[in-house]
């Protein structure tokens, strides 16, 4: 979040919770900690907090970060898709992998 958004969040908290007072230290700390946070997500969490709590939130209660791309999760999804396609293809053509020689003859049939 940028400076304007942090101030908007703090102003919202102060307007709903009169006992919450904004000091210079509060603003500086929130600015430092909230650089990576997503404003829209923070405001959604703040709205939910306001609806269910009579005390102002601490930063950890409304912190919300943008999702980062994780190539590993995308790779797993791709593997799952390829695996399901391979299983369907093998079932369609009735192909089976050869039974390993190390299995007992009663199972290799």
User: How much is the average pLDDT of 69-90?
Assistant: 87
In this predicted structure, what is the pLDDT of residue 41?
Answer: 95
38 in Cβ contact with 1 (< 8 Å): yes
**Using CA atoms, how far apart are residues 104 and 87, in angstroms rounded to an integer?**
25
User: How much is the average pLDDT of 16-35?
Assistant: 91
10 in Cβ contact with 37 (< 8 Å): no
- The sign of the torsion formed by the CA atoms of 89, 91, 95, 97 equals positive
12 in Cβ contact with 46 (< 8 Å): yes
User: How much is the average pLDDT of 58-62?
Assistant: 93
User: How much is the average pLDDT of 22-35?
Assistant: 91
In this predicted structure, what is the pLDDT of residue 108?
Answer: 64
In this predicted structure, what is the pLDDT of residue 101?
Answer: 81
In this predicted structure, what is the pLDDT of residue 109?
Answer: 57
């Amino acid at each position: 979040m940028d400076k304007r958004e942090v101030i908007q969040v703090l102003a919202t908290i102060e307007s709903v919770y009169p006992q919450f007072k904004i000091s210079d230290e509060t603003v500086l700390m929130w600015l430092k900690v909230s650089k990576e946070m997503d404003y829209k997500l923070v405001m959604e969490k703040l709205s939910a907090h306001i609806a269910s709590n009579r005390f102002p939130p601490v930063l950890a209660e409304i912190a919300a970060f943008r999702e980062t791309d994780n190539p590993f999760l995308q790779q797993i999804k791709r593997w799952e898709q390829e695996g399901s396609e391979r299983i369907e293809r093998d079932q369609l053509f009735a192909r089976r992998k050869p039974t390993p020689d190390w299995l007992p003859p009663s199972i290799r049939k």
